[in-house]
Chains A and B, each alone.
Chain A
């Protein structure tokens, strides 16, 4: 009887129990919504289908049986090696899987690795050329977006993937927010560049730009540092020294009040007579 009641309670509790998300544990609970927005864009949002062709529509009919079946696109799992953060791969990544090369042969493991090349990209906002590792898709995307800056600014973080691209995006946004100071020697160009790219600023607030492109640990560090700076302890010796000085001043003013007043009046008389 008792055991069944315990079991019932456990069942009840397990229904109401909700696992804590990463934003509810420790110092992470103090992360601002600006960072949560970036996190959502980076990690929660599903990246675009790069290595497979997603099926269209919600439902499809089986050709033989005429049965209606839902369309479920399960993406091909991708591997993100450390090198992905040193280049801009345009959504491509390494695929680990098997090849079945022949009907009668056993499947063999295979890695599909994108072809990487080093090339130059030009950022108009930053007013510089950069040498980066890219794939053919990146160059194609840059061409389709009519420029590197447009590509970075228009693509969500989940498709950019690499930290290099995210940091560059953050830098470009910061630069735009400050009105393109890198073009300061050419005010005409500065104005035209700002006019071209200012539409992208409307999607972000200054706080969001500040928290954009930070890794989890960078964000936590930032929170900790902000917290530390806000609650900086004042040494007690400063407080005591201040109090002592005040006390001494008070005492002095009380004892010398009569003499100092006379002196002041005397001074005033001299000034007026002059």
Chain B
């Protein structure tokens, strides 16, 4: 019987690969009392109830599955460019990449196919890194509070902005920050109700405007009154030229 099986599978499987390894699936059982040997070429003898007593060897529905390799066939935000080889958990690969058609299986043909495409003159990719778009999105949504002294005189410099960015959870080097064209100095409580933007350059390529507001900080009786959800409040532009741009930037509602 197995002879026929192998012959048939040979005729059927003209395709690229054969499964060399047996796949272990859900319940793998074993007889506790195997039936006695039967005559060669004969039928197995009549089974008794004890021959149906099974022991569970393995339940593969609870064992860890192997990772699946896929190749992206288009740019996916936050993941990679077309032709990237990903190694993913099988469920995620199947549900999020293979079924929507964002990726193909990393079969030998597909690997060779996408290698060939890589050797071609590469079209300049839109973004400097797969994460650039996501970072741009985060920064454009940010309302950066620049905390300055209410008592001591100061002039706004890039390192102030850098520090504020770090407090907000973004590591931005000073050379990536383009300051507004006017000199901002204080303390000046009029600035408290104004806003402006700085431009941040990501990977020396993408530029994104970040909305900034100055907060005058002091302790004790000098301290300014607490405001509820001040980041949602629309404010006036400090520099009239920036007003149009600030208008177009979405503010959290």
Contacts and interface: CB of A to CB of B under 8 A. Distances in A.
Interface of A: 41, 44-46, 48-53, 69-70, 72, 74, 76, 90-92, 95-100, 107, 110, 112, 114-115, 119-120, 122, 129, 135-137, 139-141, 143-147, 150, 153-156, 196, 199-200, 202-203
A203 B9 CA distance: 10
Interface of B: 1-2, 4-5, 8-9, 11-17, 19, 22-23, 25-32, 34-35, 37-38, 40, 44, 49-50, 52-55, 57, 60-61, 65, 68, 90, 93-94, 98-99, 101, 105, 107, 109-110
A156 B12 contact: yes
A45 B6 CA distance: 10
B26 A52 contact: no
Given A45-B8, A51-B28, A129-B99, A141 B49 contact: no
Contacts of A153: 12, 15
Contacts of B9: 156
A99 B1 contact: no
Contacts of A147: 105
A51 B27 contact: yes
Tell me the interface secondary structure of chain A in the complex: mixed
Contacts of B25: 50-51, 90-92, 114, 135-137, 140
A72 B37 contact: yes
Nearest to B35: A74
Contact of B107 (A72, A74, A112, A146): A146
Contact of B27 (A72, A114, A154): A114
Contacts of A110: 54
A144 B23 contact: yes
Nearest to B11: A203
Nearest to A120: B99
Contact of A122 (B16, B98, B109): B98
A79 to B, nearest CB: 12
A-B pairs with the 6 shortest C-beta distances?
Answer: A137-B25, A146-B105, A146-B107, A97-B52, A199-B14, A98-B53
